[in-house]
């Protein structure tokens, strides 16, 4: 075995786990990254079970390697882990029989040993455990970008939303010790990281299991105090977002004025069926408090269209919440039942064509809000963290603002994209589209 390839599906926590997987494969097995899965000796799929589409893509990708296993690369080791590995375990082999290693969300650190065993014995290895006592951050890492790092503060979830598989595949919520979080943040700063994203299924409830009460606001203060230039976090649950956290966001340098606050539905009846434990009124009141404290806040959300029992009136209430929330972004999904969740057994399935029609109407309303907010930024000066170059033009840099908006700008004379990557620059916004801004370097 000489090379590896890791493909990631799903959330930021999976991206973080994949960086650790790459770190272990390099440091423990001495492998180097291959450019494509077709030429790799070890291929790892880190999977997501939250959306049906991710499962379908996994089956397609893994099945495409079957020909390699029976042809040019018979010794390739195929490993499947993450949420689907945790959920299905050995049953995964019934529909993907050419997989060599199955592992779960709780034993990522065991992957090198499992791969070595499969390689030596030529036998399929399945190891899935119910819980873990450590965090993946204790493992070596190969970060995607030198200037950015994922920093998990909790794993698991206690909310049990009726549509969500996460508590069953990630387990109950566990918080990291605050001092461990701060220590890792300090190391990242020393390593040249300028932006961290704090991770948790519900960051707002951080510390309740350790300290008897949530201490997320303290996490923000302490991490920002390390000198990191930007602090982001995902994901926030509306029922747990405190006024103290809002105050820290508003007044602590380095904490970005961007918030992802999933609403999922604007109907109280559907929210109750989802077990979200807030109402449309409390969500909108929270949004009002946020904008009062942080006038330049960029707000994004998640919305599920077509949850079982959703009526036209329910959907209209969702549109109303979207209009009143002044959104800068929305991640929108057609409901798909997840086996093992309560909602998968609910009656009142919404016909697919009705779902799609509602989805299209929702996108129209979201885009109008995003476009209007972007138009207000024309003429302003925005500080960007340069992340790379435009896919269409290597002479145009791409970066993100504090509010997480994508901005393109032509390279100044004498500068190269490589020299600017990971640096902060000031750009004057000349033009605003729905999903990106364009401008020129200040001065």
Where does the pLDDT of residue 137 fall: very low under 50, low under 70, confident under 90, or very high at 90 and above?
A: low
Give per-residue pLDDT as tens, 82-129.
999 999 999 999 989 989 999 999 999 999 999 999 999 999 999 998
Same structural domain, 113 and 153? no
Any bridge partners for residue 400, and if so which? 385, 406
Q: What is the largest CA-CA distance in the chain?
A: 64
Q: Which helix (H) or strand (E) holds 302?
A: strand 298-305
Same structural domain, 16 and 99? yes
Same structural domain, 250 and 152? yes
Upper half-sphere CA count for residue 271 (Cβ side, 13 Å): 23
Same structural domain, 163 and 238? yes
Where among 326, 341, 376 does a domain terminate? Answer: 376
Same structural domain, 67 and 180? no
**Which among 326, 320, 318 has a CA at the least distance from the CA of 300?**
326
Same structural domain, 23 and 68? yes
Where does the pLDDT of residue 279 fall: very low under 50, low under 70, confident under 90, or very high at 90 and above?
A: very high
Look at residue 69 in the predicted model and tell me its pLDDT. 76
Residue 118 in domain: yes
Same structural domain, 88 and 112? yes
* 47-51, 118-122, 192-196: which is most confident: 192-196
Long-range CB pairs of 73-78, under 8 A, 24+ apart, other chains included: 73/38, 73/39, 73/41, 75/41, 75/119, 76/40, 76/41, 76/42, 76/43, 77/1, 77/41, 77/42, 77/43, 77/101, 77/115, 77/118, 77/119, 78/43, 78/45
Structure tokens at 256: 């970005």
Same structural domain, 28 and 117? yes
Look at residue 131 in the predicted model and tell me its pLDDT. 79
Structure tokens at 381: 């000066």
Same structural domain, 91 and 189? no
Same structural domain, 222 and 316? no
Domain count of the fold of the chain:
4
Report the CATH number at residue 11: 3.40.50.12160
CA-CA distance, 68 to 310, in Å (whole number)?
Answer: 45
Residue 265 in domain: no
Look at residue 426 in the predicted model and tell me its pLDDT. 96
Q: What does each C-alpha distance from 327 to 185, 296, 314, 331, 365 come to in angstroms?
A: 30, 12, 19, 11, 10
Look at residue 74 in the predicted model and tell me its pLDDT. 80
β-strands 437-441, 32-33 pairing = unpaired
CB-CB contact of 355 with 306 (8 Å): yes
The residue-averaged pLDDT of 268-283 equals 98
Residue 284 in domain: no
Residue 303 in domain: yes
Same structural domain, 118 and 12? yes
CA-CA distance, 95 to 254, in Å (whole number)?
Answer: 47
Q: Structural domain of residue 362, as residue ranges?
A: 290-376
Where among 330, 352, 376 does a domain terminate? Answer: 376
Q: How far apart, in Å, do the first and last CA atoms of the chain sit? A: 52
Look at residue 133 in the predicted model and tell me its pLDDT. 65
* Cβ neighbours, 10 Å, residue 148: 19
Give per-residue pLDDT as tens, 56-92.
888 888 887 877 776 677 889 999 999 999 999 999 9
Same structural domain, 107 and 180? no
């Amino acid at each position: 075995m000489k090379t590896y390839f890791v493909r990631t599906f799903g959330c930021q926590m999976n991206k973080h786990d994949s960086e650790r997987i790459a770190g272990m494969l390099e440091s423990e097995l001495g492998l180097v990254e291959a450019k494509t899965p077709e030429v790799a000796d070890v291929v790892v799929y880190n999977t997501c079970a939250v959306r049906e589409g991710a499962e379908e893509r996994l089956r397609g990708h893994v099945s495409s390697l079957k020909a390699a296993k029976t042809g040019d690369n018979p010794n390739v080791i195929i490993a499947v882990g993450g949420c689907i590995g945790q959920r299905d375990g050995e049953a995964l082999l019934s529909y993907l029989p050419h997989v060599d290693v199955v592992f779960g969300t709780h034993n990522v650190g065991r992957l090198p040993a499992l791969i070595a065993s499969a390689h030596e014995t030529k036998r399929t290895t399945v190891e899935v455990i119910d819980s873990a006592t450590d965090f993946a951050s204790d493992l070596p890492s190969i970060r995607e970008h030198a200037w950015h790092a994922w920093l998990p503060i909790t794993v698991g979830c206690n909310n049990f939303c009726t549509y969500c598989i996460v508590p069953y595949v990630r387990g109950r919520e566990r918080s990291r010790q605050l001092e461990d979080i701060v220590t890792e943040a300090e190391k990242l700063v020393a390593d040249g990281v300028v932006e961290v994203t704090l991770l948790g299924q519900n960051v707002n409830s951080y510390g309740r299991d350790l300290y008897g009460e949530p201490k997320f606001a303290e996490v923000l203060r302490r991490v920002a105090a390390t000198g990191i230039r930007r602090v982001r976090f995902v994901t926030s649950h509306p029922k747990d977002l405190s006024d103290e956290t809002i105050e820290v966001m508003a007044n602590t340098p380095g904490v970005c004025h961007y918030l992802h606050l999933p609403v999922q539905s604007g109907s109280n009846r559907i929210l109750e069926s989802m077990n979200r434990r807030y109402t449309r009124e409390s969500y909108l009141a929270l949004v009002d408090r946020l904008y009062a404290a942080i006038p330049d806040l960029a707000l994004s959300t998640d919305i599920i269209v077509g949850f079982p029992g959703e009526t036209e009136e329910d959907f209209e209430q969702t549109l109303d919440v979207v209009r009143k929330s002044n959104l800068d972004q929305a991640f929108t999904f057609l409901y798909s039942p997840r086996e093992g969740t309560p909602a998968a057994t609910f009656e009142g399935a919404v016909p697919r064509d009705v779902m799609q029609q509602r989805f299209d109407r929702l996108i129209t309303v979201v885009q109008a809000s995003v476009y209007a907010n972007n138009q207000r930024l024309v003429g302003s000066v925005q500080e960007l963290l340069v992340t790379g170059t435009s896919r269409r033009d290597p002479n145009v840099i791409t970066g993100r603002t504090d509010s997480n908006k994508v901005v393109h700008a032509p390279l100044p004379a004498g500068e190269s994209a490589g020299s600017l990557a990971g640096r902060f620059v000031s750009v004057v916004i000349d033009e605003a589209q729905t999903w990106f801004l364009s401008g020129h370097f200040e001065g």
